[in-house]
Amino acid sequence: MSEALSKGQAPDVGGHTIPTLEDVLAAAERMADEVHRTPVLSCASLDEIVGMRLFFKCENLQRVGAFKFRGATNAVRMLSDDDAAKGVVTHSSGNHAQALALAARRRGVPAWVVMPTNAPGIKRRAVEGYGATVVDCEPTLAAREAGAEQVVAETGATFIHPYDDPRIIAGQGTAALELLDDVLGLDAVIAPVGGGGLMSGTCIAVHGLNPSVRLYGAEPENADDARQSLEAGRLIPVGAANTIADGLRTSLSELTFEILKTHLDGLPTVTEDEIVNAMRHIWERMKIVVEPSAAVPLAACARLHPELAGKRVGIILSGGNVDLDHLPWTTS
Amino acid sequence: MSEALSKGQAPDVGGHTIPTLEDVLAAAERMADEVHRTPVLSCASLDEIVGMRLFFKCENLQRVGAFKFRGATNAVRMLSDDDAAKGVVTHSSGNHAQALALAARRRGVPAWVVMPTNAPGIKRRAVEGYGATVVDCEPTLAAREAGAEQVVAETGATFIHPYDDPRIIAGQGTAALELLDDVLGLDAVIAPVGGGGLMSGTCIAVHGLNPSVRLYGAEPENADDARQSLEAGRLIPVGAANTIADGLRTSLSELTFEILKTHLDGLPTVTEDEIVNAMRHIWERMKIVVEPSAAVPLAACARLHPELAGKRVGIILSGGNVDLDHLPWTTS
């Protein structure tokens, strides 16, 4: 477990340096005035159903409705004044895009978001609402990457990847810092795994503070690249991921794979029905709006019951951005 | 403004003693280990829309999903052991019924809820889920009152009215205590008005702590008995109230009318469309589930803008119990 970190070494993975607890602590200090300290909620009736004592870190209540604002704010704040002035760019069209747009606006610098022409209007409007410029591209990853490169070439803007970036990972880890600060004696923490940025930051923060806490990632069966990668011992990108948990369709990077490999105690996967069911339970019992991706860890609790029955378990609720006109239980 | 209270007098209204700040403080201490200290959330984008700095006291995140658990817990805890052992009864079928059922279960005593045979199955199951016994009656107020009287006669249980009761009012006031403790320098507080229990407790707590804070009730136009009563200077019960805000269909009692008359600075009313619109804004922007009644104060902010523009305004979000299969924007 993270020998390199405890010795203060900084191994290079995919061109990046693995962030340390110190990086997460620095991120927390850097953005204390920008980021909501989100509440940790508990729910007796869910505890009863699941058979654990659950503590939900409500990043759905974070600005822009997702933990992504933490990483984006940390990355934007770490830029030099000269670099910041030229702006930032990304090719995500999800929560990271909104987060980066708001983080840039808060620093008073421009942001560009490269988005496929077939992206939902709601996503486009959200990003524009935060003051970013949307750059159209064809709906392929290659076109998105090319679009982002072109913005960089034309403007000198800094490209900010949604997860393959130590600044982003350190920022995302601040949610777990707050969770451990608010809840004493946690036995385990579960977070969803898409590209692995949130899970990586969570691993570094939690094990940096307390190496005995067990760490679990949770994935949709239909987007189980992290499980496949960990089992194979090498990075196996997901194909076309057909899951309602749209935040988890992306694949690990070399950097996040390395961190997860070092820290995770398990990586349960869940079905689509289990995700929708868990999501509805959270809405009904906890009275909060979460997106499908955020419900994946609760769904995974059934799989983890043999290991975690009766334990104190932290869950990171990653976000709450859903289309209220198309809820999974009204359309199914 | 509340001269009687400041002189320590206790006038009788409708057979009741008006509760004081001391009663609210005692309630808070009495139930500190039972009641969630709910978070106060803010939302920059709603502030921008409304033109005020809003602080939302999230009683939708309270146990049973509504502030009602506060009053019910206070009332049940104040019973002598002998009285408590005989149980409690009410004829509300809304959030108060669930709250009383859970409060009774927490003290280990029985609860009966008299409910019309045409009440939705979801309400019946919720109350039974908390361990109360449902007693059927015809769907008239007379039948409900008779049903409750019969339970009292047969069992010796104590009848706990949903709002016409100083113990209930003192309990509801504890939400505002916490709000003022968490948010400094509030200029005003707005709460919804149905029977007036929450608003009364809020008045007593807020003006007890700081008489300069302005207090506003908010009502649906379609259930504006409180406005009518305040304008007429006498209690005018509402007829059949046709509003989506089902928690606000009830009318003031003499007790709550007296308290509101003494304390309120205004009582704006809102349309059904405004309620649904405000509810959706809260779900979308704040990522929390609120019931229509809870959205009424936010809807009223437009009416209060001339008085409160730029001010720091506390809003009590009263509850989050909705049927997720029938949301107002999917059926309209």
Spatial separation of the C-alpha atoms in residues B75 and B78, rounded to whole Å: 5
Q: Can you tell me which residue has the tokens 């929708």?
A: A276
From the list B41, B65, B289, the residue facing A289 with the nearest CB is B289
Taking phi first (over 0 means left), then psi (-120 to 50 degrees means alpha), and beta for anything else, what does residue A311 get? Answer: beta
Q: Do the chains contact at A41 and B60, CB–CB below 8 Å?
A: no
Q: How far is B285 from chain A (nearest CA, A)?
A: 8
In total, the C-beta contacts within 8 angstroms joining chain A to chain B are 50
| Rg for chain A, CA atoms, rounded | 18
User: Using the 8-state DSSP alphabet, how is residue A19 labeled?
Assistant: P
Please state which of the ranges A6-20, A113-127, B238-252 shows the lowest mean pLDDT.
Answer: A6-20
Per-residue pLDDT, averaged over B281-302, amounts to 98
User: With contacts defined as CB-CB under 8 Å, which chain B residues touch A320?
Assistant: 287
Q: Do the chains contact at A283 and B324, CB–CB below 8 Å?
A: yes
Q: Do the chains contact at B325 and A329, CB–CB below 8 Å?
A: yes
Per-residue pLDDT, averaged over B46-74, amounts to 98
The structure tokens listed for A19 are 């962030």
Q: Do the chains contact at B324 and A290, CB–CB below 8 Å?
A: no
Residues 53-92 of B with CB under 8 A from A: 60-61, 63, 65
> Residue B130: what pLDDT?
94
> Between B185 and B9, whose confidence is greater?
B185
Q: Do the chains contact at A288 and B289, CB–CB below 8 Å?
A: yes
> Residue B102: what pLDDT?
97
Q: Do the chains contact at B283 and A60, CB–CB below 8 Å?
A: no
Q: Phi and psi dihedrals of A253, rounded to 5?
A: -100, 175
pLDDT above 90 as % of chain B: 88
pLDDT at B166 over 80: yes
pLDDT at A294 over 80: yes
Q: How far is A308 from chain B (nearest CA, A)?
A: 25
Q: How far is A285 from chain B (nearest CA, A)?
A: 8
Q: Do the chains contact at B330 and A325, CB–CB below 8 Å?
A: yes
User: With contacts defined as CB-CB under 8 Å, which chain B residues touch A318?
Assistant: none
- The model's confidence at residue A5, banded by pLDDT at 50, 70 and 90, is very low
Spatial separation of the C-alpha atoms in residues A321 and B86, rounded to whole Å: 48
Taking only the tens place, the pLDDT of each residue in A10-26 is 567 888 999 999 999 99
Reported ipTM: 0.92
Q: Do the chains contact at B327 and A324, CB–CB below 8 Å?
A: yes
CB B303 within 8 A of CB B45: no
Q: How far is B112 from chain A (nearest CA, A)?
A: 21
Strands A214-220 and A269-270: parallel
Residues 32-51 of B with CB under 8 A from A: 39, 41, 44
| Residue A318 among the catalytic residues | yes
Q: Do the chains contact at B39 and A44, CB–CB below 8 Å?
A: no
Statement: the pTM of the whole predicted model exceeds 0.80:
yes
Q: Could you tell me which residues are beta bridge partners of residue A218?
A: A192
The structure tokens listed for A223 are 């987007």
- Secondary structure string (H, E, C) spanning chain B: CCHHHHCCCCCEECCEECCCHHHHHHHHHHCCCCCCCCCEECCHHHHHHHCCEEEEEEHHHCHHHECHHHHHHHHHHHCCHHHHHHCEEECCCCHHHHHHHHHHHHHCCCEEEEEECCCCHHHHHHHHHCCCEEEEECCCHHHHHHHHHHHHHHHCCEECCCCCCHHHHHHHHHHHHHHHHHCCCCCEEEEECCCCHHHHHHHHHHHHHCCCCEEEEEEEHHHCHHHHHHHHCCCCCCCCCCCCCHHHCCCCCHHHHHHHHHHCCECCEECHHHHHHHHHHHHHHHCECCCHHHHHHHHHHHHHHHHHCCCEEEEEECECCCCCCCCHHHHC
Spatial separation of the C-alpha atoms in residues A25 and A36, rounded to whole Å: 16
Spatial separation of the C-alpha atoms in residues A17 and A14, rounded to whole Å: 8
Strand, helix or coil for residue A176: helix
Q: Do the chains contact at A60 and B287, CB–CB below 8 Å?
A: yes
- The model's confidence at residue B11, banded by pLDDT at 50, 70 and 90, is low
The structure tokens listed for B273 are 């469309």
Q: Which chain B residue shows the shortest CA-CA distance from A63?
A: B43
Catalytic residue among A57, A68, A92, A253: A68
**Structural domains present in chain A:** 3-66+165-331 (3.40.50.1100), 68-159 (3.40.50.1100)
Taking only the tens place, the pLDDT of each residue in A152-210 is 999 999 999 999 999 999 999 999 999 999 999 999 999 999 999 999 999 999 999 99
> Residue A7: what pLDDT?
47
Q: Which chain B residue shows the shortest CA-CA distance from A64?
A: B285
> Residue B9: what pLDDT?
55
- A82 alpha carbon, distance to own chain's centre: 28
Spatial separation of the C-alpha atoms in residues B284 and B280, rounded to whole Å: 6
- The model's confidence at residue B247, banded by pLDDT at 50, 70 and 90, is very high
Residue of A59, A63, A287, A293 to mutate for B, most B C-beta atoms under 10 A: A287
From the list B280, B288, B329, the residue facing A287 with the nearest CB is B288
State whether residue A292 sits within 8 Å of chain B by CB. Answer: no
State whether residue A122 sits within 8 Å of chain B by CB. Answer: no
The CA-based dihedral angle spanning residues B280, B286, B287, B291, taken in that order and rounded to the nearest 10 degrees: -50
- The model's confidence at residue A107, banded by pLDDT at 50, 70 and 90, is very high
pLDDT at B19 over 60: yes
From the list B60, B284, B329, the residue facing A287 with the nearest CB is B60
Strands A40-41 and A53-58: antiparallel
Question: Distance of CA B176 to CAs B62, B186, B188, Å?
Answer: 13, 11, 11
User: With contacts defined as CB-CB under 8 Å, which chain A residues touch B283?
Assistant: 289, 324
Q: What is the mean pLDDT of chain B?
A: 94
pLDDT at B1 over 70: no
Residue type, B81: D
From the list B61, B324, B329, the residue facing A41 with the nearest CB is B61
Q: What angle do CA B216, B225, B70 make, to 5 degrees?
A: 60
> Residue A179: which H helix or E strand, with range?
helix A166-182
Residue of B49, B287, B290, B291 to mutate for A, most A C-beta atoms under 10 A: B287
- The model's confidence at residue B115, banded by pLDDT at 50, 70 and 90, is very high
Taking only the tens place, the pLDDT of each residue in A85-104 is 999 999 988 899 999 999 99
Spatial CB neighbours of A81, under 8 Å, sequence gap ≥ 6: none
pLDDT above 70 as % of chain A: 96
Q: Do the chains contact at B289 and A287, CB–CB below 8 Å?
A: yes
Please state which of the ranges A13-17, B144-148, B208-212 shows the lowest mean pLDDT.
Answer: A13-17
State whether residue B278 sits within 8 Å of chain A by CB. Answer: no
Taking only the tens place, the pLDDT of each residue in A213-244 is 999 999 999 999 999 999 999 999 887 789 99
From the list A65, A325, A330, the residue facing B287 with the nearest CB is A65
Per-residue pLDDT, averaged over B253-276, amounts to 98
> Residue B206: what pLDDT?
98
> Residue A81: which H helix or E strand, with range?
helix A81-86
Per-residue pLDDT, averaged over B30-59, amounts to 97
Spatial separation of the C-alpha atoms in residues B94 and B319, rounded to whole Å: 11
Spatial separation of the C-alpha atoms in residues B320 and A283, rounded to whole Å: 9
Give the burial class of A34: count Cβ atoms within 10 A of its Cβ; 0-12 exposed, 13-18 middle, 19 or more buried: middle
- The model's confidence at residue B3, banded by pLDDT at 50, 70 and 90, is very low
CB B164 within 8 A of CB B175: no
From the list A280, A288, A329, the residue facing B288 with the nearest CB is A288
> Residue A70: what pLDDT?
98
Q: Do the chains contact at A324 and B325, CB–CB below 8 Å?
A: no
Spatial separation of the C-alpha atoms in residues A283 and B323, rounded to whole Å: 10
Spatial separation of the C-alpha atoms in residues A113 and A200, rounded to whole Å: 24
Strand, helix or coil for residue A113: strand
Q: How far is B232 from chain A (nearest CA, A)?
A: 38
Q: What positions of B carry a catalytic annotation?
A: 68, 318
Q: Do the chains contact at B289 and A280, CB–CB below 8 Å?
A: no
State whether residue A288 sits within 8 Å of chain B by CB. Answer: yes
Residue type, A283: W
- B282 alpha carbon, distance to own chain's centre: 19
pLDDT at A83 over 60: yes
State whether residue B292 sits within 8 Å of chain A by CB. Answer: no
Taking only the tens place, the pLDDT of each residue in B174-200 is 999 999 999 999 999 999 999 999 999
State whether residue B283 sits within 8 Å of chain A by CB. Answer: yes
Per-residue pLDDT, averaged over B212-231, amounts to 97
Q: Do the chains contact at B283 and A327, CB–CB below 8 Å?
A: no
> Residue B23: what pLDDT?
98
> Residue A256: which H helix or E strand, with range?
helix A254-263
Per-residue pLDDT, averaged over A110-114, amounts to 97
CB A114 within 8 A of CB A137: yes
pLDDT at B41 over 50: yes
> Residue A1: what pLDDT?
38
